[in-house]
Structure 1
Amino acid sequence: MAEKVTSMPSTIHLALIHHPNPEAVEFISSRISHVFKIPVKLQHASFDPRIAFDSRRQQYDSTVLLAELLKEIQNKEDKIIGLTDVDLFIPVLTFVFGEAQLNGNAAIASYYRLRNAFYGLPDNPDLVLHRLEKEVIHEMGHTFNLIHCPNYRCVMQASTSVDEIDLKTGNFCPTCLEKIRQE
């Protein structure tokens, strides 16, 4: 179980796992820093993501990857988000775009199912980048103790499809923004 974070982190670590899209890294790093007003440190994950591979499902267990990400940070007040291109799941769901520890230190987001090609549609790199941005901000929001929001435009609105991701903005609604400022 993750320890409760008692103060704002001094750093958010952006850990690259399994060759993530290089064009996305700088943009995502910049957005995290802008939204949370916390410096971002880029690093490569030191673990092999295959430790989380489930051969029966042909997917990666995101909860296993979260546990590995926690080992990557030395300062227990810091937060870390893994960025990957592998297909993630949790046992109770067919897939997830990402996962996070509520009020914890670790999150992960994948662009595997965010790409149009996954659905047999023409490639749209800008759209994928904005979907990834929303998912990263969403998952990081959970680490700051934000739960899913009923406001369909809020980045904290739950998303089970790319269509739902496309409907929401990459920003917190006023209610969620106030909650995050109180943390």
Structure 2
Amino acid sequence: MNILIFWDRGAPAGLEIPVYRIISQILDIPASVCESPVLYNGFDRTRNQFDASEILTCLDIFSRRNGEKNLILLVIGDDIYRQNTRYVFGLSRPATGTAVISSARLKNEYWGLPSDEMMLVDRLSREGAHELGHLLHLDHCDNPSCIMANPLTLDDLDNKKSMLCHLCLGKIQRSPITVSI
């Protein structure tokens, strides 16, 4: 099983190649990237955000209709949330092998800081690898430097290393990957 990364038109242009290469390296799984063929919905006008669960449902439908057997990560530029949260950086649905991440709050500019493309590549790669880790049946890790540590803030995400700890790496190497389609 490989990783298929769908890059939405609203996601930062020109960062696809370094992001997919880093994610593939972190998880040691072949990956490819292409323009997203998925139309998603779930926009909440009162919040000016998309419901990440609704986006995952759209990805699930796409995956089933196309008989997709690879893990799918959708990278979008729109801000996303999950019920009972203000926002999320990403969300995954392990049962169907789909995940979504948003670049909106990963950009320095969102927080009033100067633009930094290299930092954005690092953040997208870490968050993408984190959500894909859930698709590989990894839970959140207590090791704050592991890619599977739960980033509640941007500082948490920035403090993680771009790698799995030895415990999480061992779990991936021992665990079969199963996806329901």
State the TM-score, normalized to the length of structure 2: 0.88
CA distance in 1, matches of 2:107, 2:23: 21
Is the 8 Å Cα contact of residues 24 and 31 (structure 2) preserved in structure 1? yes
CA contact (8 A) 1:103 1:144 kept: no
Matched, 1:69 2:59: yes
* Percent identical residues: 27
Q: SS in structure 1 opposite 2:132?
A: helix
Aligned residues: 173
2: distance between equivalents of 1:175 and 1:113?
Answer: 29
Q: Specify the alignment match of 2:178 in structure 1.
A: none
In structure 1, the residue corresponding to 2:129 is in which secondary structure?
A: helix
Indicate conservation of the 8 Å contact 1:78/1:105, yes or no. Answer: yes
After superposing the two structures, state which structure 1 stretch, 76-85 or 87-96, moved more.
Answer: 76-85
Find out whether 1:46 has 2:63 as its counterpart.
no
* Distance (whole Å) between structure 2 residues aligned to residue 180 and residue 58 of structure 1: 37
In the alignment, what sits opposite 1:82?
74
Alpha-carbon distance between aligned partners in 2 of 1:122 and 1:29, rounded to the nearest angstrom = 24
Residue in structure 1 matched with residue 7 of structure 2 by the alignment: 16
Structure 1, gaps ≥5 residues long: 1-8
* TM-superposed deviation, 1:29: 1.5
Q: Which residue, out of 64, 84, 93, partners 1:101? A: 93
138, 149, 152: which one pairs with 2:141?
149
1:127 to partner: Cα distance: 1.1
**Structure 1: distance between partners of 2:71 and 2:153:** 26
Q: Output the CA distance in 2 between the equivalents of 1:14 and 1:76.
A: 12
* Runs (5+) with no aligned partner, structure 2: 176-181
**Deviation >4 Å, runs of 4+:** none
> Partner residue of 1:5?
none
1:16 Cα deviation (Å)? 1.7
**Partner in structure 1 of residue 120 of structure 2:** 128
CA RMSD of aligned residues (A): 1.6
Q: CA, structure 1 residues 37+72, in 2 after alignment: closer, same or farther (shift >3 Å)?
A: farther
**Preserved contact between residue 111 and residue 132 of structure 1 (Cα < 8 Å):** yes
> Is the Cα–Cα contact under 8 Å of residues 149 and 158 in structure 1 kept in the other structure?
yes
Structure 2 CA distance for aligned equivalents of residues 178 and 140 of structure 1: 16
In structure 2, distance between residues paired with 1:61 and 1:176: 29
| Equivalent of residue 92 in structure 1, options 71, 74, 84 | 84
Q: CA deviation at 1:92?
A: 1.3
What letter is aligned with 1:12? I
